[in-house]
Amino acid sequence: MRYSSLSLLRQGLAGHEGWPQAWRSPDLKPSYDAVVIGGGGHGLACAYYLAKVHGIRRVAVLERGWIGGGNTGRNTTIVRSNYFFPESVALFDFALRQYEQLSEELNYNIMLSQRGIMNIGHSDHQMEMMARNVNAMLVNGIDVELLDAQQVRSELPMANFSPDARYPIMGGFTQRRGGVARHDAVAWGYARAADALGVDIVQNCEVRDFRIEGGRVVGLETSLGPVSAGAFGLSASGHNGVLAKKAGFRLPLTSYALQAMVSEPIKPVLDTVAMSWATGMYVSQSDKGELVFGAGLDLYPSYAQRGNLPVTQGVVAGMLEIFPLFRGLRMLRQWAGIVDVPWDYSPILGPSPVGNLHLNTGWGTGGFKATPAGGYFLAHSMATGGHHPISAPFDISRFHTGAFIDEAAGAGISH
């Protein structure tokens, strides 16, 4: 739906009471052609592409809470495609290119801000590894630049460049097409577009079990009753391991809490995303002025969605070492999401060991940037029964063949 400036003004003056719902709230039907488990950005994107690209419109997305209330609404909104291996670059740059035209495609402003992402190096060793990374990324066709200390200083003049700093700044590298996008808007944009194509988005619907016959899933048991379908997609970040176990197989991943926090808002001071692997800190500034910053994984596996204090303290300390001027700021909020981290830090995509159940899992700490890709390739797998060439290297079989795609470094701050 498009709004004229007059109708926007009228809504504003009327206290926003006349807005139509952006998507319906349908009852769960007994059967569909395809059912997606998990109403995060990936699940919603999958439903949209099933309908849009594959013409499959009898689709339901089942979300146990509210859409975007999982990691989609908890992440720090960084998008980038500066990964090491060609397989990863193909995947993440596919997503970034989708993001670059998504506002127009969905007619929904996802507030993509390509303000660049800057990784800061603090030692000769780190600069050496950054040079190797940058060379690999350039070979893969990614727009990255290695920077010396002066170049970093011209972009982050308020950082601590003292030679006596605990973390001296020796240089860095940047991807200028990287940046941030509004996480909720990505979920809402896909939800509205999928709904318009006939997809049922069913919230407060928890998937509790699988009915499996002859090696195939014939239906799901949910908190709103049973549902059957021809194809199923598992896209329930943070709980994919739990659900896979109910479907009778084990996913090679471990679930941890990942934390983030925001400061009180201040005037614009930071116009890129700054990351420091050595301190485990990254920070950007939101359009409201808050500093959005975060940490690496919590130290032990957990499903407690709040994170533990030593990690919070560590990230604040790391940020203040690099940006001492933020010292007087108050912290407004801290939170965490549960992330599923595979053994090689790359996602697990495509058909599962159970026929007609398809996987979109293992995005670990870095799946927001991949939302359009995760959705697109899950839809492809559900519609065709097989892989798109870009998702094929991420098949679960790599944990048998040993063809790992170890992106621990590409995943950056969070491992």
| CB-side neighbour CA atoms (13 Å) of 209 | 5
Residue 184 binds which entry of ligand FAD, ligand PYC, none, with Cβ cut-offs from 5 to 8 Å by kind? none
Which residue from 44, 104, 47, 92 is spatially nearest to 68, judged by alpha carbons? 44
Identify the bridge partners of residue 349 per DSSP, sorted by sequence position. 360
CA nearest to 358, candidates 249, 198, 254: 249
Residues 334-373 that bind ligand PYC (CB under 6 A): 365-366, 369
Contact 9/335 with Cβ under 8 angstroms? no
Contact region for ligand FAD (CB under 6 A) — 6-14, 229-237, 262-270, 388-396? 229-237
| # chain residues binding ligand PYC, by CB under 6 A | 11
Could you tell me where the DSSP H helices lie in 107-254?
Answer: 124-139, 149-155, 183-196, 240-247
Tokens of 401: 């063949």
Which of 124, 119, 179 lies closest to 152, judged by CA?
119
- Contact 182/77 with Cβ under 8 angstroms? yes
Q: Which of 28, 38, 49, 383 binds ligand FAD (CB under 6 A)?
A: 38
Q: Does 70 bind ligand FAD (CB under 6 A)?
A: yes
Site string for ligand FAD, 121-160 (x = CB under 6 A): ----------------------------------------
Contact flag: residue 41 with ligand FAD (CB under 6 A): yes
Give the three-state DSSP class for 111.
coil
Q: How far apart are CA 364 and CA 345, in angstroms?
A: 7
Question: Which one among 237, 263, 279, 352 touches ligand FAD, defined by CB under 6 A?
Answer: 237
Burial state string for 405-414 with b = 16 or more CB within 10 A and e = fewer than 16: bebeebbbbb
| Binding partner of residue 182 among ligand FAD, ligand PYC, none, CB cut-off 5 to 8 Å per kind | none
- In terms of CB distance, is 183 or 388 closer to ligand PYC? 183
- Contact pick of 84, 190, 282, 323 for ligand PYC (by CB under 6 A): 282
Stretch that binds ligand PYC, among 73-81, 121-129, 148-156, 315-323 (CB under 6 A): 73-81
Q: Is 414 in the site for ligand PYC (CB under 6 A)?
A: yes
The single residue among 177, 182, 369, 380 that binds ligand FAD, judged by CB under 6 A, is 369
Residue 413 binds which entry of ligand PYC, ligand FAD, none, CB below 5-8 Å type-dependent: ligand PYC
Q: To the nearest whole angstrom, how small is the minimum distance from the Cβ of residue 282 to ligand PYC?
A: 6
Residue 412 binds which one of ligand PYC, ligand FAD, none, with CB within 5 to 8 A depending on kind?
A: ligand PYC
Interior CA angle at 94 toward 88 and 99, to 5°?
A: 125
- Selection from 123, 154, 118 nearest residue 134 by Cα: 118
CB of 257 to ligand FAD, least distance (A): 8
Q: Is 251 helix (H, G, I), strand (E, B) or coil?
A: coil
Query: Nearer to ligand FAD by C-beta: 105 or 206?
Result: 206
Q: Which is nearer to ligand FAD, 38 or 127 (CB)?
A: 38
Q: How far, in Å, CA of 188 to CA of 211, rounded?
A: 31
Among 28, 96, 236, 383, binds ligand FAD (CB under 6 A): 236
Residues 6+ away with beta carbon under 8 Å from 58:
32, 33, 34, 198
Sole binder of ligand FAD in the list 207, 229, 253, 396 (CB under 6 A): 207
Of 122 and 387, the one with the shorter C-beta distance to ligand PYC is 122
Q: Is 76 in the site for ligand PYC (CB under 6 A)?
A: yes
Q: How far apart are CA 215 and CA 234, in angstroms?
A: 16
Joined together, the tokens standing for residue 413 give 């701050």
CB 207 within 8 A of CB 69: no
- 90: its two tokens: 């193909």
What's the min distance (Å) between Cβ of 378 and ligand FAD? Answer: 10
Subset of residues 75 to 104 that bind ligand FAD, contact rule: CB under 6 A? 75-78
Q: Between 167 and 368, whose beta carbon lies closer to ligand FAD?
A: 368
For residues 76 and 219, the answer to whether their CB atoms sit within 8 Å is: no
Interface with ligand FAD in residues 326-365 (CB under 6 A): 336-337, 339, 363, 365
> Binding to ligand PYC by residue 294, rule CB under 6 A?
yes
- Per the listing, tokens 């010396």 go with 148
Q: Which residues form the interface with ligand FAD (CB under 6 A)?
A: 37-43, 62-65, 69-72, 74-78, 206-207, 235-239, 243, 258-260, 294, 336-337, 339, 363, 365-369
